[in-house]
Chains A and B, each alone.
Chain A
Amino acid sequence: RKEVEQDPGPFNVPEGATVAFNCTYSNSASQSFFWYRQDCRKEPKLLMSVYSSGNEDGRFTAQLNRASQYISLLIRDSKLSDSATYLCVVNITGNQFYFGTGTSLTVIP
């Protein structure tokens, strides 16, 4: 069983739409959680960390539900520049980062 499960999509949404991505993780001892963004032929880059209380960064909102072992990312007012692959990442012991398969997003004009 994979450590992190994510719906691969693809998600094709119009500009201005709201889109939500979800992922689940299998190890209840997981310590920290992140959303990364990966553009085509580039390295993954941190989008935002995910905290138990939920956190927001501009148009992006991340939520964590430890009881259900579930992480989400909400993107409001989608921009063309949001088109990328979004990776759910779980850190289990402080030095084991496990990635989901990624969810592909294309924002259409």
Chain B
Amino acid sequence: DTAVSQTPKYLVTQMGNDKSIKCEQNLGHDTMYWYKQDSKKFLKIMFSYNNKELIINETVPNRFSPKSPDKAHLNLHINSLELGDSAVYFCASSQSFGNTEAFFGQGTRLTVV
């Protein structure tokens, strides 16, 4: 069983469209994240949710809206997609106590054309 799973794995879409990426974790973790990895390979944190509540929003445009229906799911909706949104988006989860590591999903490669 995949611990952190995100769908879709690949997403090609036109500028201006709205798209969603889904993420689920079966590790029982209380914190989930979205990261963006751009063409320079830098992994930048976008959002962090703890028990369904937003705790980090790292100056991400309003077009990006995360939604956490429960602590095992964190979805990412993107409105009015732009060329610069093309990147790999990684979902991750961790336990907020115990200083344990974060586990990552396989990534969603988004290409905006």
Bound complex: CA A54 to CA B90 (Å): 29
Interface residues of B in 37-78 (CB under 8 A from A): 40-45, 48, 50, 55-56
Bound complex: CA A44 to CA B42 (Å): 12
Interface string of A48-77 (1 = CB under 8 A from B): 010000000000000000000000000000
Residue pair A42, B106 in contact (C-beta under 8 Å): yes
How many residues of chain B are within 8 Å of chain A by beta carbon? 27
Residue pair B96, A94 in contact (C-beta under 8 Å): yes
Interface string of A21-46 (1 = CB under 8 A from B): 00000000001101000000011111
Residues of B within 8 A of A99 (CB): 35, 42-45
Residue pair A95, B104 in contact (C-beta under 8 Å): no
Interface residues of B in 74-107 (CB under 8 A from A): 90, 92, 94, 96-97, 99-107
Q: Does A12 contact B (CB under 8 A)?
A: no
Residue pair A98, B45 in contact (C-beta under 8 Å): yes
Contact of A95 among B41, B55, B90, B101 (CB under 8 A): B55
Bound complex: CA A84 to CA B69 (Å): 36
Q: Does B25 contact A (CB under 8 A)?
A: no
Residue pair B101, A43 in contact (C-beta under 8 Å): no
Residues of A within 8 A of B31 (CB): 95
Residue pair B41, A85 in contact (C-beta under 8 Å): yes
Residue pair A44, B43 in contact (C-beta under 8 Å): yes
Residue pair A94, B99 in contact (C-beta under 8 Å): yes
Q: Smallest CB-CB separation from A87: which chain B residue? A: B43
8 new A-B pairs (CB below 8 Å) besides A99-B42, A101-B41? A44-B43, A44-B90, A91-B94, A91-B99, A95-B31, A97-B92, A98-B45, A101-B40
| 26 A-B pairs (CB sep. < 8 Å) | A31-B99, A32-B99, A32-B100, A42-B107, A43-B90, A43-B104, A43-B105, A43-B106, A45-B104, A46-B101, A49-B99, A49-B101, A94-B96, A94-B97, A95-B55, A95-B56, A95-B96, A96-B45, A97-B33, A97-B45, A99-B42, A99-B44, A101-B40, A101-B41, A102-B42, A102-B43
